[in-house]
Amino acid sequence: MDDLWQDAMDHAVAIARKSGQMVREALRDDRKVMMTKSSSIDLVTQTDQKVEQLIIKSVKEKFPTHRFIGEESVAAGEPCDLTDFPTWIIDPIDGTTNFVHAFPFVAVSIGFCVNKQCEFGVVYSCLQDQMFTARRGRGAFCNGEPLQVSTEEDISRSIIATEFGSNRETEAIDRMFSSLRKIVCIPVQGVRSAGSAAVNMCLVASGCVEAYYEIGIHVWDVAAGSLLVTEAGGVLMDVEGGVVDLMSRRIIAANNRTLAERIVKEIDSFSPTRDDAP
């Protein structure tokens, strides 16, 4: 019983590494945008689709009863339902825009939930060859080395990560800039954007940035990273405070409650359409 999901996690690590190899090869000669999704800047490449197919096919062979929520499968019309069944939550390339531009933060993100609870998370940062892993109750690691969030309690001695995502509607942009302006002027020591939610969360887990927040992310961007943050000692919070809901497309991932609550105070929140909306 103890090692119930270890097999699945080992498989996730192996397939993430193989996917990363595909991403690195494609970076050299196939970074073309194939189509767009929610907006003209929400990009999809052939590699996003190929990597997701590779992961789903290999998991189906080994764990035929498991279910999936995959970024590209959902885009193709598959449901985005998180049930109590063992479910793999996959972002084949988190940081697709980075990939297209060869901006060097591109990750394969695999979260695994049972009874709607994350059991493990794997984020492979392909170009840095960094394998981030977390197992519920057993800590977070990068290439096998334990991770610990920053101990900073003062936001004015912190770096905060955030992103603008792919929503360019005026009202959303105004709210994002207003929040960012207030946070910058606290003042914080710096603001960073890796261009990948999963990488931003690994930076929080590693203690390099104190917190990351974003409105507009999807469950596949943050499922694995969420466990990395909490297993490294950090906290998750909704942008209005309270418990985070991975389907709500809003998240604060911070080193501690003090910083998360301080960020809540500055955010002009809004509610994008939920990932599990009918």
Residue 272 within binding range of ligand LIP, rule CB under 6 A: no
User: x-or-dash pattern for ligand LIP, window 212-231, by CB under 6 A?
Assistant: --x-xxx--x----------
CA atoms within 13 A on the CB side of 207: 13
Q: How far is the CB of 151 from ligand LIP (least distance, A)?
A: 26
For CA atoms 240, 214, 68, 129, the dihedral sign is negative
Which of 45, 96, 162, 230 does the annotation list as catalytic? 96
91 labeled binding residue: yes
Residue 152 within binding range of ligand LIP, rule CB under 6 A: no
Which of 94, 210, 266, 275 does the annotation list as catalytic? 94
Annotation says 71 is catalytic: yes
Q: Which two tokens stand for residue 251?
A: 């998240």
Q: Where are the beta strands (DSSP E) in the chain?
A: 33-36, 43-45, 67-70, 87-94, 107-114, 117-125, 130-135, 140-142, 145-146, 159-162, 190-192, 211-215, 235-237, 250-254
Cβ neighbours for 246, distance < 8 A, ≥ 6 positions apart: 82, 219, 222, 223, 226, 275
Sole binder of ligand LIP in the list 197, 202, 215, 223 (CB under 6 A) = 197
Annotation says 129 is catalytic: no
Q: Which residues pair with 192 in a beta bridge?
A: 161
Residue 96 within binding range of ligand LIP, rule CB under 6 A: yes
Annotation says 55 is catalytic: no
Q: Which two tokens stand for residue 95?
A: 């940081």
The residues annotated with a catalytic role in the active site are 71, 91, 93-94, 96, 221
- Residues contributing to the annotated binding site: 71, 91, 93-94, 221
Binding residues for ligand LIP, rule: CB under 6 A, are: 71, 91, 94-96, 163, 165-166, 195-197, 214, 216-218, 221
